[in-house]
């Protein structure tokens, strides 16, 4: 068997074609989207409707095994000629494939580096914002502490004044401690 090709969802007309074209395989695969597996060797052997769809063009491209088939496919789908030429060039010079692969890795590395820098900058901004919030809380607490220190200093000063005086002023009794006026009238 040549291989399987994974096809994503198509319009309902195309879905009917795919469902009727292949027997159940019994494969149980879980995907996030609905897919259909197309056996390329079966696609090549069984005559399919020759509607000039993009789906049939790609399946024909993937199922091509020799130059005769390639010429036939290019005759039906002229836009595939450029793809066949590029495939032929890459088969003659495989170092080009390695070059493309190296270039793709270089671009991937650059993008990864840019992403990491952006993430670090974002993290740094968030930390600065958090630091500003913490500094504001600390300043508020410092102000409250300073107010308490001033109050303590004032109370100590008042206490010091009373300790330096030989006579402490008499304490004024509270209303509940005062003698009843009726008792004093006698």
Copy the structure tokens of residue 37.
Answer: 């597996």
Please tell me the distance from the alpha carbon of residue 37 to that of residue 18, in angstroms, as a whole number.
9
Rounded-to-integer distance, Cα 38 and Cα 20, Å:
12
Q: Can you tell me the mean pLDDT for 115-143?
A: 95
* pLDDT bucket at 145, cuts 50 / 70 / 90: very high
pLDDT of 1 > 60? The answer is no
Instruction: Quote the CA–CA distance of 25 and 35 in Å, as a whole number.
Output: 13
Tell me: pLDDT of 8 over 50. Answer: no
Q: Which of 53, 47, 61, 62 is nearest to 15 (CA)?
A: 53
pTM: 0.39
Q: What's the DSSP call for residue 126? A: H
Q: What percent of the chain has pLDDT over 70?
A: 69
Q: Pick from 7-16, 43-52, 74-83 the range whose average pLDDT is largest.
A: 74-83
CB 27 within 8 A of CB 35: no
The mean of the pLDDT values for the chain is 77
What phi and psi values does residue 96 have, to the nearest 5 degrees? -65, -40
The stretch 125-132 carries a mean pLDDT of 96
For the residues 104-117, what does the mean pLDDT come to? 91
Rg (CA), the chain: 44
CA 128/CA 122 separation, integer angstroms: 10
């Amino acid at each position: 068997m040549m291989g399987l090709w994974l096809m994503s969802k198509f319009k309902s007309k195309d879905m009917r074609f795919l469902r009727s074209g292949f027997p159940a395989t019994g494969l149980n695969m879980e995907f996030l989207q609905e897919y259909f597996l197309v056996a390329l060797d079966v696609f090549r052997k069984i005559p399919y409707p020759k509607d000039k769809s993009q789906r049939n063009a790609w399946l024909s491209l993937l199922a091509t095994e020799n130059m005769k088939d390639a010429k036939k496919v290019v005759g039906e789908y002229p836009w595939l000629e450029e793809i066949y030429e590029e495939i032929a060039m890459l088969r003659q010079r495989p170092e080009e494939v390695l070059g493309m692969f190296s270039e793709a890795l270089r671009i991937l590395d650059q993008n990864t580096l840019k992403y990491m820098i952006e993430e670090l900058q974002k993290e740094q901004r968030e930390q600065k914002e958090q630091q500003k919030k913490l500094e504001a809380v600390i300043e508020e607490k410092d102000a409250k502490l300073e107010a308490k220190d001033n109050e303590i200093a004032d109370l100590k000063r008042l206490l010091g004044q009373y300790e330096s005086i030989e006579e402490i002023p008499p304490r004024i009794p509270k209303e509940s401690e005062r003698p009843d006026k009726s008792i004093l009238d006698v």
